[in-house]
Amino acid sequence: MKEEEACGKLRELLKDVVERNNAEALLLSGGLDTSILAALANEQDKSKKALTVALTETRAPDLKYAQKVAQKFRYEHHLICLTETEALKKLPEVIKAVRSFDPALPNDLTIYAALKEAKDLGMKSVMTGDGADELFAGYSYMHELSPDALDKYIKAISKTMWFSSNKLGASLDVEVKQPYLDKKLVDFALDIDPGLKIKEIDGRKYGKWLLRKAFEEELGDVAWRAKEPIEFGSGTTKLRDSIRRKISDAEFAAKKREYEMEFMNKEHLFFYEIYKVVVGEIPKSQVKGKGKKECPLCKAELPENRHHCYICGFSYPIGKYLEETSSE
């Protein structure tokens, strides 16, 4: 399928899935994925409320882009501004909901704050951009893979990918709608040439190339915004500095010995100690046999074909993932 034809097909599919997965509000980061949803829902005159989270006294680049998109498509824009103290107080609620102490929790905190605001406003459903990065090669580590390896990797993770927004929404009784995970769109993403997902122009590699090209007319410079983690865009990455200051090097070393766990960093330890209080002990692997393995960090069970531990956040290197995928 040529690029022009693929762009047309993608636009048609996304228009359809957004209509079928419409929600009362959109979690709007101002990045490519959610901005596309904003543009399409606007065409249908639906989902006219948008939610954006930003940590106060941070650069929070999402804010500028989200405001631009919300204004262009005439959304009622709800901005949730959290202080550092407020954000840290929400962490136990987040950890209890996702039952994890993954170092990526600041991402989950951002999503939780938006969903909590939706609930407080009486909303029952929120639309997210989950899945676009996984299916259309949005992550920078994917950009170094050969086309064949990229195709195999995306097809493999499409079978096991999951998103914390589902657990967070369930904890708040807010339905999370995920248009990019609609089966028709997933099938399309898995079928297209991987060369339509990543392209290098003037020395810069662009992931999600097809999504960018398909919607560059509506989105302008937003279509070419570089991929940034949710925690960076919202400013919640600043929490890491605050947490690190709370734990001395000596305490960090002592706690690793006490818990017999090789924490990735001080934030990981901080999240684990909250996890112990609000969730409890890590469920250790009990099942042995073919396809079953144990997380080398927290000793929880890693289900078949999974290379990422949803409890502690440990991930095997992508090379191991591809090696095992190729041998199956």
Interval 20-50: pLDDT, tens:
998 999 999 999 999 999 999 877 665 589 9
CB atoms closer than 10 angstroms to residue 74: 11
The pLDDT value recorded for residue 236 is 93
The pTM assigned to this predicted structure is 0.93
Q: Where are the domains of the chain?
A: 3-234, 239-327
Beta-strand relationship, 125-127 and 25-27:
parallel
**88-95 contacts at long range (C-beta below 8 A, 24 or more positions apart):** 88/239, 88/242, 90/116, 91/271, 91/274, 92/274, 92/277, 92/278, 93/171, 94/168, 95/271, 95/274, 95/275, 95/278, 95/279
Out of 20-29, 105-114, 281-290, which region has the weakest mean confidence (pLDDT)?
281-290
Asked whether residue 328 carries a pLDDT value surpassing 70, the answer given is no
Please count the residues of the chain. Answer: 328
The pLDDT value recorded for residue 306 is 74
CA atoms of 248 and 270, how far apart (whole Å): 12
Side chain identity at residue 120, one-letter code: D
Asked whether residue 150 carries a pLDDT value surpassing 60, the answer given is yes
The pLDDT value recorded for residue 160 is 85
Q: What architecture (CATH level 2) is domain 3-234?
A: 3-Layer(aba) Sandwich (3.40)
Out of 62-71, 238-247, 261-270, 309-318, which region has the weakest mean confidence (pLDDT)?
309-318
